[in-house]
Amino acid sequence: MAQPAPPVAFDGFSADSFAWFAGLEADNSKAWFTAHRETYDRAVRGALEALLEELADEFGGYVKLFRQNRDIRFSRDKSPYKTRTYGVILERPGSRAPLYAEISRPGLFAGSGYHMLDAAQLERFRDAVMDDRSGPELERAIAGIETFGEALKTAPRGYPRDHPRVKLLRHKSLVAGSRLASRGNRIGRDAALDHVRGTWNACAPMNAWLDAHVGAT
């Protein structure tokens, strides 16, 4: 009976990783992807999976990588492949927030948070932002990190436009993260692990607030 292949150790993102993305951006076709599949499996998807698996041993949870193929059924852009490769660590003990990592030509991005909020979650989020105890707690939790997420152009209906936390009230989701640019077309093992680990740890106070005040769907 054949033995399963041993796990691949993470050794950073090489020049091959970033050259692959540059090539895909120049020729986003099935023919090009097929011709360079070995590089993708080894230096792109394989390297990202090895990074996430190593950190999942530390943070808990399980790794999920997403397909490189784009869903083009309802898109005007018919290019078949995404120009970024990304995955998450899910179902971690102690937090509902997934941990996200993405490799692309500009570098390595890491982030976390609540990427989507249903109607009930959104109502709880806004009520907690409005509250003069929990609202300032969130402001302190996100101090020093860059936040993202879908947001309205103005305050949601029924909420004051001049509220001191109106920028947070406009959010329909809340995530934070940062990107590490490649230097010399590579990102070494230690730099990659330190960046992703540090970003996720910086997001932990925000995630704890979201877990406490927003919770599950």
According to the model, what pLDDT value does residue 150 have? 93
Contacts of 212 (CB under 8 A, 6+ apart): none
According to the model, what pLDDT value does residue 17 have? 97
Instruction: Write down the mean pLDDT value for the chain.
Output: 94
According to the model, what pLDDT value does residue 4 have? 43
For residue 45, the SS3 value is helix
Kindly list the domain boundaries of the chain, sorted by start residue.
Answer: 15-213
Place of tokens 């509902």: 96
The tokens of 148 are what?
């993202």
CA 10, chain centre distance (Å): 19
According to the model, what pLDDT value does residue 7 have? 58
CA distance 170 to 156: 6
Report the half-sphere exposure of 81 (CA within 13 A, side-chain side): 23
Mean pLDDT of 191-211: 98
Is the predicted pLDDT of residue 188 greater than 90, yes or no?
yes
pLDDT in tens, 4-30: 444 579 999 999 999 999 999 999 999
pLDDT in tens, 36-89: 999 999 999 999 999 999 999 999 999 999 999 998 777 788 899 999 999 999
Q: Kindly report the number of other CB atoms within 10 A of residue 19's CB atom.
A: 15
The tokens of 17 are what?
């990783």
When the candidates are 3.40.1000, 3.20.14, 3.30.930, 2.60.40, the CATH number that belongs to 15-213 is 3.30.930
DSSP state of 184: T
Length of the chain: 217
Share of the chain above pLDDT 90, in %: 89
Is the predicted pLDDT of residue 114 greater than 70, yes or no?
yes
Mean pLDDT of 152-179: 95
Mean pLDDT of 93-120: 96
The pTM of this model reads: 0.92
Q: Exposure string (b/e) for 48-61, b if CB count within 10 Å is 16 or more?
A: bbbbbbbbbeebeb
For residue 157, the SS3 value is coil
According to the model, what pLDDT value does residue 1 have? 46
Alpha helices in the chain (DSSP H): 15-26, 30-35, 37-39, 45-59, 119-130, 134-142, 166-169, 189-213
According to the model, what pLDDT value does residue 5 have? 47
The tokens of 132 are what?
């003069």
